[in-house]
C-alpha cells in the first residue's frame, strides 16, 4: 500500500525529528531514520507492486521527501537520492536485474546512492571522467566520484561511466559499497549545512564488474539519466520546500509564544504579521509548484521538464529567503541559536550550490523554454 502524505508526516515526526539536532551537531549520518525507512518499506516507494513495492510515482516521491525534510533536510536528501537511483532500475533494468534488485529494495535490504558528481565535470553529470576497460566478459572501472551522498550507508552506488565499447556513450553500473578496489575518502565532509549526508569522495581503483551489473543496454546510460534527473531535481525541490515549511512552522510558533511584559505576543504586531504572511505565501508556492511538477511528470505532460527545473529554482530561492525572514523575526534568540532557525539557514544555503547549481538550472530552463 502506498504511503500517504499524512503517513509520511507522522513517520517523520516519530522517526526523524528526535535525531535532527544530533545529526547536525555531530555531522553524522541519520542512521536511525534511514534504518526505519528500510524497515517500514519506504525504500520500495516507487518499486512496482509486482516486485513487492508500493507502486508510487513522482507525486508520492515528492510528498515523502517533503515530509522527511520538514523535520530534517539531510534525511530527505539522502532518501530522495535512493529513489532517483531506484527509478533507473525500474525504467531501464533488464528483467533479470529487476527480479534481482527490486524485491530486495522493496524489503529494505538494498539502498541506492548516486555516484555521478566528479571534480572534472562539476554539475555536468553527462560528462564523466570515469573510464571502463574490458576484462574478459566484464569491465574494469577507474576514476573518482567527488560527492557520493549516503556513502557507506547505501549498499550500491549507481555509477555513471564512459563506455569503452561505444565512444561518446555512457553506462550506469551498480557497484557495491564494499567492492574490491573501491576506496572511501572518509572524514572529508564537514559542511556548513546538510551536515549529516555522509557525502564523500569515492575512488574506483580497478574495480572489476560483471556486465550483469550494467543497467540495461550497453551505451544507454545517457538515456537513463532522463529517468534519474527528473526524480533527482523534483526531489531537491521537495527537500527545500520541506525545509521552508519547517522554518515557517518554527517562526510561527515562536512569534505566538514570545510575550512582552504587557502580555502582547510578538505575533500581535502588524509588521510581524506582514512578514509571516510573506513567509507563508512563499512557502506554499514552493510546495505547490513542487507537487505540480511531480504530477506533470507522472502525467507525462508536455511541459513537465520546464516545471521540474522551475520547481527546484523556486524552492532554492524561497528556502533561503524564508529562512532569512524567519531569522529576522526570531531576533536575538534566533541568532543565539536558541531556535533551530540557524540550522535551517545553513541547510538552505546548500541549495544554490548543490549540483546542478542554480545558475545551471536557469540555463537549462531557459534553453528548454525557447527550444
Given a cut of 80, whether residue 306 has pLDDT beyond it is yes
Provide the domain limits for residue 310.
222-370
Instruction: Report the b/e string of 108-142 with b at 16+ CB within 10 A.
Output: bebbbbbbbbbeebeeebeebebebeeeeeebbbb
Average pLDDT over residues 154-175: 96
What average pLDDT does this structure show over 249-277? 97
What CATH code is carried by the domain that includes residue 175?
2.40.110.10
* Claim to verify: residue 90 and residue 62 sit in the same structural domain: yes
Question: Residue 191 has which C-alpha cell?
Answer: 559542511
User: What's the pLDDT band for 353 if we cut at 50, 70, 90?
Assistant: confident
Residue 311: pLDDT band by 50, 70, 90 thresholds?
Answer: very high
Q: CATH number of the domain that 339 lies in?
A: 1.20.140.10
Q: Alpha-carbon distance 253 to 282, whole Å?
A: 18
Are residue 11 and residue 130 in the same domain, yes or no?
no
CB atoms within 10 A of CB 50: 10
123 has pLDDT over 70: no
Q: Is 246 in the same domain as 334?
A: yes
The tens digit of pLDDT for each residue in 224-237 reads 999 999 999 999 99
Q: Is 140 in the same domain as 9?
A: no
* pLDDT tens digit sequence for 78-120: 999 999 999 999 999 999 999 999 999 999 999 999 999 988 7
Task: Kindly state whether residues 65 and 152 are assigned to the same domain.
Answer: no
Q: What is the pLDDT of residue 153?
A: 96
Sign (positive/negative) of CA torsion 167, 137, 157, 4? Answer: positive
Sheet holding 138-148, edge to edge: 131-135, 138-148, 200-210, 182-184
State the burial class of residue 231 (Cβ atoms within 10 Å of its Cβ: 0-12, 13-18, 19+). buried
Phi, psi of 250 (to 5 degrees): -65, -50
- Please name the residues in contact with 267: beta carbons below 8 A apart, sequence gap of 6 or more: 252, 255, 256, 258, 273, 276
Residue 180 and residue 131 in contact, taking contact as beta carbons nearer than 8 Å:
no
351 and 239 in a common domain: yes
Residues 228 and 356 reside in one and the same domain: yes
170: pLDDT strictly greater than 60: yes
- End residue of a domain, out of 161, 191, 221: 221
Tell me what pLDDT residue 183 has.
96
Supply 166's cell numbers.
561505444
CATH number of the domain within which 42 lies? 1.10.540.10
What local confidence, expressed as pLDDT, does residue 241 receive?
A: 98
Q: Are 101 and 43 contained in the same domain?
A: yes
pLDDT band at 308 (very low <50, low <70, confident <90, very high): very high
Report, in angstroms and rounded to the nearest whole number, the Rg of the chain calculated over CA atoms.
21
Please identify, among 169, 196, 221, the residue that sits at the C-terminal boundary of a domain.
Answer: 221
Q: Which of 110, 127, 156 is the last residue of a domain?
A: 110
Q: Are strands 112-115 and 156-162 parallel, antiparallel or unpaired?
A: parallel
Supply the pLDDT for residue 1.
Answer: 56
User: Do 163 and 254 belong together in one domain?
Assistant: no
> What is the arithmetic mean of pLDDT over 52-78?
97
Least confident of 42-51, 104-113, 193-202: 193-202
User: Do 142 and 66 fall within a single domain?
Assistant: no
- Tell me the β-bridge partners of 112: 156
Same domain, 102 and 133: no
Shared domain check, 239 and 202:
no
Per-residue pLDDT tens digits for 285-303 = 999 999 999 999 999 999 9
Lowest mean pLDDT among 111-125, 254-268, 274-288: 111-125
Domain count, the chain: 3
Mean pLDDT confidence for 239-260: 97
Nearest residue to 146 via CA among 103, 171, 114:
114
d(CA 294, CA 308): 7
Amino acid at each position: 500500500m502506498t504511503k500517504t502524505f499524512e503517513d509520511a508526516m507522522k513517520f517523520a515526526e516519530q522517526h526523524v525529528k528526535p535525531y535532527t539536532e544530533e545529526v547536525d551537531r555531530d555531522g553524522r549520518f541519520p542512521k536511525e531514520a534511514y534504518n526505519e525507512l528500510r524497515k517500514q518499506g519506504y525504500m520500495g516507494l516507487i518499486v512496482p507492486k509486482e516486485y513487492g513495492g508500493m507502486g508510487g510515482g513522482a507525486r508520492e516521491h515528492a510528498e515523502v521527501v517533503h515530509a522527511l525534510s520538514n523535520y530534517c533536510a539531510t534525511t530527505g536528501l539522502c532518501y530522495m537520492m535512493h529513489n532517483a537511483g531506484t527509478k533507473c532500475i525500474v525504467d531501464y533494468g533488464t528483467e533479470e536485474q529487476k527480479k534481482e534488485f527490486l524485491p530486495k529494495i522493496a524489503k529494505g535490504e538494498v539502498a541506492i546512492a548516486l555516484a555521478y558528481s566528479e571534480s572534472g565535470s562539476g554539475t555536468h553529470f553527462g560528462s564523466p571522467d570515469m573510464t571502463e576497460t574490458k576484462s574478459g566478459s566484464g569491465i574494469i572501472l577507474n576514476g573518482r566520484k567527488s560527492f557520493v551522498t549516503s556513502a557507506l550507508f547505501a549498499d550500491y552506488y549507481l555509477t555513471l561511466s564512459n563506455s569503452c565499447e561505444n565512444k561518446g556513450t555512457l553506462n550506469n553500473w551498480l557497484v557495491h559499497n564494499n567492492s574490491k578496489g573501491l576506496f572511501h575518502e572518509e572524514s572529508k565532509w564537514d559542511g556548513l549545512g546538510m551536515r549529516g549526508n555522509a557525502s564523500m569522495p569515492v575512488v574506483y581503483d580497478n574495480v572489476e564488474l560483471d556486465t550483469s551489473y550494467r543497467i540495461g543496454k550497453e551505451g544507454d546510460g545517457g538515456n537513463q539519466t532522463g529517468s534519474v534527473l527528473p526524480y533527482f531535481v523534483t526531489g531537491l525541490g521537495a527537500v527545500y520546500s520541506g525545509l521552508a515549511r519547517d522554518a515557517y512552522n518554527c517562526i510561527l510558533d515562536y512569534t505566538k509564544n514570545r510575550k512582552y511584559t504587557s502580555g502582547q505576543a510578538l505575533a500581535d504586531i502588524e509588521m510581524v504579521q506582514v512578514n509571516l504572511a510573506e513567509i507563508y505565501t512563499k512557502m506554499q508556492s514552493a510546495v505547490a509548484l513542487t507537487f505540480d511538477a511531480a504530477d506533470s511528470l507522472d502525467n507525462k505532460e508536455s511541459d513537465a521538464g520546464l516545471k521540474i527545473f522551475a520547481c527546484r529554482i523556486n524552492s532554492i530561492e524561497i528556502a533561503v529567503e524564508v529562512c532569512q525572514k524567519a531569522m529576522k523575526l526570531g531576533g536575538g534568540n534566533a541568532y543565539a541559536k536558541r531556535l533551530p532557525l540557524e540550522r535551517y539557514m545553513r541547510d538552505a544555503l546548500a541549495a544554490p550550490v548543490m549540483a546542478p547549481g542554480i545558475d545551471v538550472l536557469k540555463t537549462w530552463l531557459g534553453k528548454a523554454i525557447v527550444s
